[in-house]
Structure 1
Amino acid sequence: MTPRANWKGFLRLSLVTCPVALFPATSESEKISFNQLNRQTGHRIKYLKVDADTGDEVANEDIVKGYELEKGQFIEVTKEELDELALESTRTIDIDEFVEKADIDPRYLIRPYYLRPDGKVGHDAFAVIRETLKEMNKVAIGRVVLTNREHIIALEPLEKGLVGTLLRYPYEVRNEDEYFDEIRDVKVTKDMLDLARHIVNQKAGRFEPGKFEDQYETALIDLINQKRAGKPITPKERPRGENVVDLMEALRRSVGKDAAETKAPKKPGKKPRKAAAGQKEMLMPIAGKKQAKEAATKKPAARPQRKSA
């Protein structure tokens, strides 16, 4: 199925324009989600939109947005009035400037989107913008309106398309001083730095997301499968941290421990479960694989519904 675009409009660099579509680059839909239930009846909890004063349920068409000026006093704003703001970025991503990727503070990053040409026209103009960014190793900065708000967006090439990352505005990023002021000034000795560098070098590698497994998600799946099978749930012992008394000794022991792990033959690690297969498939069936295969030829196994509350 062709993915559905979150936004369609135009990408413009000076007089070069092409129609484009914006798609979410990430997804949370494969994660386990829970419904809220009434412990007494086992029924789902239903949320209603009610008038805070009368307690009467209010239909969606009768709900408008309101900005609270002071306690109990609101300025109403309708959807039509918001649409009439008509910022140009509602329909066009206008590239304002080009910057170095290293200049973008990671705190400003929100979420990534994929950008591709929309329809059969505009591929040439899109390719010119993409290849220029790639050749000059720059990030293009523009603006786009999503969910009724204007966002800064940083565009960079990825394979045949572009990745656009939404950025926060300065007022959305908290000042670090109020959090870091109480950190003591400590003099770190050369010996400590040498040992720490040695540990870093022993653990150096390339970031490969495929090596990592969401352990909490895996534990949730195991928990649900155990409960479905009627097995007793035994709580696991929580890991406990240790107080560091002698930092130099801890560093030396870390170096020795990592060196021993490096020399020891590595056991074949568990392959992370493929997210593409979907977490639903991991939940079922409880029976052994052979039994499950036989059952599958007769009747599809029931799967638990995972609708969000």
Structure 2
Amino acid sequence: MAPRANWKGFLRLSLVTCPVALYPATSESEKISFNQLNRATGHRIKYVKVDADTGDEVASEDIVKGYELDKGQYIEVTKEELDELALESTRTIEIDEFVDKADIDPRFLIRPYYLTPDGKIGHDAYAVIRDTIRDMDKVAIGRVVLTNREHIIALEPKEKGLVGTLLRYPYEVRSAAEYFDEIQDVKLTKDMLDLAKHIVNQKAGTFDPGKFEDHYETALVDLINQKRAGKTIRPRERPKGENVVDLMEALRQSVGREAAPAKATKSAKKPRKASTGQKEMLMPIQGKKPAKEAATKKSTPGQRRKSA
């Protein structure tokens, strides 16, 4: 079942308009999450909103937003006053300009969304805007209001649809000079750079997200299963970082190190790709059963379940 749209409105390019819906393109729901518990009782911790001075609990309908002018002095702003700001981007993504993708600094990227036609009408207008962006090899820049804030949004075609990526404003991006100014200027020899480039060529590949595994998530699953099975938890040995004393020797050793696994993998089995979504647990936790396992159980009811 598709998630609920975060936003519904219109996409407009000059006089061409179509109804659209904006959906989150990413999800964190597959990751393991923890509740906070009272160590003494094992009960869950409940958070309540209280008056900072009296300590009394405050009902949601009695809570208003406030901007702090001075210490302890606030200007109250109501929901109705915020709604009355009524920016056009609250209901319409107006395409303001088209830019080259290379012009967008990665530091400005926030998160991606899928932008789709909303309903049965407007597919023609949607297709015109999508295909024009694709044919011109550009990124469309507009604005949209999400969570009571106006965001810049960059639209680009993907398959039959459009992906919209929220962008930060300049005041939200810190200057690199604050961090990079004290980095020393170092003169490297040609031999060092040649060895480093050789290592890069040995490790060159095509980016495929599917071959990367979330090792921390896998370790969490293992930890939870061990605790449920009553096993003793033994701390793992942490990798030790070491300072490079002889950079040239380290580069030479790295070249040899990267070449050895390349030969070994020719005869070895092809590594298993990391699965999409959460790893299957040895002892499934209620509410965390992988969809793949559930589907297998339905289709093959008589099959024995694999033991871990």
TM over 0.5: yes
- 1:180-200 deviations in whole A, cap 9, x for unaligned? 111000001111110011000
Give 1:63-212 correspondences, 5 Å limit.
63-212=63-212
Q: Could you tell which deviates more after superposition, 164-173 or 237-246?
A: 237-246
Pair 1:69–1:237, CA change in 2 (3 A): same
Distance in 2 (CA, whole Å) between partners of 1:49 and 1:89 is: 32
Pair 1:111–1:187, CA change in 2 (3 A): same
Distance in 2 (CA, whole Å) between partners of 1:209 and 1:108 is: 22
Distance in 2 (CA, whole Å) between partners of 1:176 and 1:124 is: 44
Give 1:10-49 correspondences, 5 Å limit.
10-49=10-49
* Residue number in structure 1 paired with 2:272: 270
- 1:144-183 deviations in whole A, cap 9, x for unaligned? 0000000000000000000000000000000011101110
User: Which residue type is aligned with residue 231 of structure 1?
Assistant: K
Offset of residue 71 of structure 1:
0.3
* Residue number in structure 2 paired with 1:232: 232
Instruction: Verify the 8 A CA contact 1:224 1:283 in the aligned structure 2.
Output: no
- 1:53-99 deviations in whole A, cap 9, x for unaligned? 11100000000000000000000001111010000000000000000
User: Which residue type is aligned with residue 282 of structure 1?
Assistant: M
The normalised TM-score by structure 1 is 0.90
Larger relative contact order (CA 8 Å, sep ≥ 6): 1
User: Which residue type is aligned with residue 139 of structure 2?
Assistant: V
SS in 2 for 1:282: coil
Distance in 2 (CA, whole Å) between partners of 1:71 and 1:285 is: 51
Offset of residue 260 of structure 1:
1.4
User: Which residue type is aligned with residue 239 of structure 2?
Assistant: P
User: Which residue type is aligned with residue 281 of structure 2?
Assistant: M
* Residue number in structure 1 paired with 2:281: 282
Pair 1:93–1:193, CA change in 2 (3 A): same
Pair 1:142–1:283, CA change in 2 (3 A): farther
Distance in 2 (CA, whole Å) between partners of 1:245 and 1:165 is: 43
Offset of residue 284 of structure 1:
2.7
SS in 2 for 1:264: helix
Distance in 1 (CA, whole Å) between partners of 2:37 and 2:230 is: 20
User: Which residue type is aligned with residue 255 of structure 1?
Assistant: V
* Residue number in structure 2 paired with 1:260: 260
Distance in 1 (CA, whole Å) between partners of 2:225 and 2:30 is: 17
Distance in 2 (CA, whole Å) between partners of 1:163 and 1:283 is: 37
* Residue number in structure 1 paired with 2:247: 247
SS in 2 for 1:226: helix
Q: Does 1:4 align with 2:4?
A: yes
The normalised TM-score by structure 2 is 0.90
Distance in 2 (CA, whole Å) between partners of 1:254 and 1:269 is: 22
Distance in 1 (CA, whole Å) between partners of 2:264 and 2:189 is: 31
SS in 2 for 1:164: strand
Offset of residue 262 of structure 1:
1.2
Offset of residue 285 of structure 1:
4.1
Distance in 2 (CA, whole Å) between partners of 1:52 and 1:179 is: 37
**Can you give the 5+ residue segments of structure 1 that lack an aligned partner in the other structure?**
299-309
Distance in 2 (CA, whole Å) between partners of 1:110 and 1:180 is: 23
* Equivalent residue pairs, number: 288
| RMSD of Structure 2 on Structure 1 (CA) | 1.7
Instruction: Verify the 8 A CA contact 2:225 2:281 in the aligned structure 1.
Output: no
User: Which residue type is aligned with residue 118 of structure 1?
Assistant: D
After the TM superposition, which segments of 4 or more aligned residues of structure 1 sit over 4 Å from their partners?
none
User: Which residue type is aligned with residue 4 of structure 1?
Assistant: R
Offset of residue 283 of structure 1:
5.7
